[in-house]
Structure 1
Amino acid sequence: MSNIISESSTRIKTGIVLVIALLIIGFIDSITLTWLLFGALMIIALKESMNLFKIDDDKIYIYAVAIWIIAYFYPKPEDLIFVVGVLFAAMLAYTQEFNKNLFLPLMYPIASFLFLLSLYFSYGMGALLWLLVVVAGTDVGAYFVGKSMGSLKFCATSPNKTLEGVFGGVIIAAILGMIFAPEEIGFLLGLFISLAVAIASVFGDLFESYLKREADVKDSGDILPGHGGILDRTDGYLFGGIVMLFLLRFFA
C-alpha cells in the first residue's frame, strides 16, 4: 500500500487540495459563488471537450455563457438544454450551414453542468457534498482496491480498470453515501441512490476514457497535476449528478 501511495503522491496532493477547496465552497454556501465556480469549470471542460470532439467553432462559448447567465435566474437550469437544442435545430434547418457538431459539446459537458447546478438549486449544498462523497469514494476506492488486488479487466475501453476495483469502489461509495446522505433521505433510500450514483460515475469515467481513446490522447487537459484536465476529474460527477437529481425527484 505504501508503494501505491508513493507512486501517486502528486495525484493525492492535488486531490486533497481540490477537496479542501470544495469543502470551503460548501461551507460558504453562496449561490453566486457556486454558480461562478461551476461556470468556470464548465468553460474549461467545454474547451477540453471541443478538443476531444475535434471541433473548431468558438461560437459555442458564446452560447455556453448565455445559457449559464440565464441558468442563474431560472429555477430548473436543466430545462435550458432542451430550449437550446431546439434553437440549434431551428438554425440548422433554416440556414443549412449551422455546425451540427455543436450538439455534442452541448450535451457533454454543458448539459451535465446544468444538471449539477439544478441539483444545487433544488436540494442545496448538502446534495452536492453527498455527490462529492459518493463519486470520490467510487474513484478512490476503485483505485486502491484495483491496485492492491485487481486482476480481471473490467472493459476494453479503459484497460487499467479492473472488475475488482470497480466493484470495490462502488461498494465503498454506497456505504459512505448511505452514511453521508441527508438525514431526511433515510438510510435505505440513501444506500440505493448512492449505489446508483456510484455506478453512473463509473460509466461517466468510462465515457470520457472512450472519448480520449477516440481522440488518441492520454488526458483531456493538463490543468490539474496528476489528474489531467477538468473532464478527467469531473467525468464521474457529470453522469452521477444527473442520476442523483433524477432519483431525488422521483423518490424524495
Structure 2
Amino acid sequence: MSIFSTSNERVKTGLVLAAAVLLIGFIDNFFLMWAFLGVVYILAFKEALILYDIKNNDLIYYAAGLWVVGAIYPYSDDLFVLAGVAYASAVAFNKNLSWKNFFPFMYPTAGMLFILSMYQEYGVLALLWLLVIVSLTDIGAYAVGVSIGKTPFSEASPKKTMEGVVGGIVIATLGGMFVGLSIVDLGISFIIAFMVSVSSIFGDLYESSLKRAAGVKDSGTILPGHGGVLDRIDGYLFGAVVMLILLRGLV
C-alpha cells in the first residue's frame, strides 16, 4: 500500500470519527453519550488486555458491568477506586490472583470513567474543551516536530521531538485557553489547558511504552489508517483525569 493510499484511508477514517463525535455531542443525550463511550471503552479494554499480555477475556464482563453501574451512579470515577478496593481484597484473600489482571482497570478504565464523570458534572462543553486541547496538542506537536524537530523526547516514542512537544503544548494551551472561557475564567482556563496538554503528551507516551513492550506498532486494527482505539484516545485518558481534578479543585 502506498503512502498516498494510507494517508487517504487515514483522512477518511478521521472524518467519519469526527462527524460521529460531533453529532453525538450536538444531540447531547446522556444515554447516547454513555452508550458511545461504553463502546469505545470496551474496545479499548480488549486492546489493553493484549498489550498487557493478559489471557483472561472474562475480565471484559467485569468491565462491562462497571460501565453499566456508571450509568446510574452519579460519580463514575469513584467506581475505579471501589474496583481497586475490591480487587485488593480479592488478592489478599486468594494468593493465586495476580495484580496484573487489574492493570486494564487502571488504564483505560480510570480515564474513561473520568470522561463520563466530567460529562455528568460539567456537560458536553467540557468534553469539547478536552477534545480541542488534546487535538491541538497532537496536531501542534506533529507540525512543529516535522518542521524543526531535532531533539529526541523519549525512547518510548522515538518519533517525538522536544521541539514538537513544546510546540504542541504552546499551541494547545493558547487555543484551549480561549475555548475554556465558556466554562471558567481566563487564569483558570490557562492553567487547565496547559496541564491537560502536558498530561496528554504523557498519555500518548504511556501507550507507546505499552506497545513497545508488547512488540506491536498499533494497539489494534479496527480503525483503518489509525490503528486501534487506544491509539486514538491515549491522550484523552490522561487528560480527562487531570481536567476533572482541576475543574473540581479550581472552580
- The normalised TM-score by structure 1 is 0.94
Kept after mapping to 1: 8 A contact 2:220/2:227: yes
Distance 1:136 1:48, change over 3 A: same
Pairing of 1:1-252 with structure 2 (within 5 A): 8-252=7-251
Kept after mapping to 2: 8 A contact 1:127/1:182: no
Kept after mapping to 1: 8 A contact 2:152/2:160: yes
Kept after mapping to 1: 8 A contact 2:126/2:183: no
Deviates more, 1:235-244 or 1:53-62: 53-62
The amino acid that maps onto 1:57 is: N
Kindly provide the CA deviation profile for residues 87-123 of structure 1, in whole angstroms up to 9, marking residues without a partner as x. Answer: 1122222232334321111101111111110111110
- Give unmatched runs, 5+ long, in structure 1: none
Kindly provide the CA deviation profile for residues 155-201 of structure 1, in whole angstroms up to 9, marking residues without a partner as x. Answer: 11111001111111111111111121142402221121101100000
Distance 1:7 1:170, change over 3 A: farther
Q: CA deviation at 1:5?
A: 9.1
The amino acid that maps onto 2:147 is: S
SS at match of 1:185: coil
- The normalised TM-score by structure 2 is 0.95
Q: CA deviation at 1:235?
A: 0.1
Tell me, in whole angstroms, the C-alpha distance in 1 between the residues paired with 2:116 and 2:104. 17
SS at match of 1:181: helix
Tell me, in whole angstroms, the C-alpha distance in 2 between the residues paired with 1:108 and 1:54. 14
Tell me, in whole angstroms, the C-alpha distance in 2 between the residues paired with 1:164 and 1:6. 29
Q: CA deviation at 1:132?
A: 0.2
Report the RMSD for the aligned CA atoms in angstroms: 1.6
SS at match of 1:73: coil
SS at match of 1:223: coil
Deviates more, 1:222-231 or 1:14-23: 14-23
The amino acid that maps onto 1:238 is: L
Tell me, in whole angstroms, the C-alpha distance in 2 between the residues paired with 1:12 and 1:168. 23
The amino acid that maps onto 1:67 is: L
Tell me, in whole angstroms, the C-alpha distance in 2 between the residues paired with 1:70 and 1:7. 40
Distance 1:8 1:154, change over 3 A: farther
Tell me, in whole angstroms, the C-alpha distance in 2 between the residues paired with 1:59 and 1:149. 47
Tell me, in whole angstroms, the C-alpha distance in 2 between the residues paired with 1:182 and 1:126. 11
The amino acid that maps onto 1:56 is: K
Kept after mapping to 2: 8 A contact 1:170/1:199: yes
The amino acid that maps onto 1:85 is: G
SS at match of 1:24: helix
Runs of 4+ in 1 over 6 A off after TM superposition: 4-7
SS at match of 1:160: strand
SS at match of 2:108: helix
Kept after mapping to 1: 8 A contact 2:133/2:193: yes
Q: Percent identity?
A: 48
Tell me, in whole angstroms, the C-alpha distance in 2 between the residues paired with 1:36 and 1:91. 29
The amino acid that maps onto 2:212 is: R
Kept after mapping to 2: 8 A contact 1:14/1:224: yes
Kept after mapping to 2: 8 A contact 1:126/1:182: no
Deviates more, 1:12-21 or 1:143-152: 12-21
Q: How many corresponding residue pairs?
A: 249
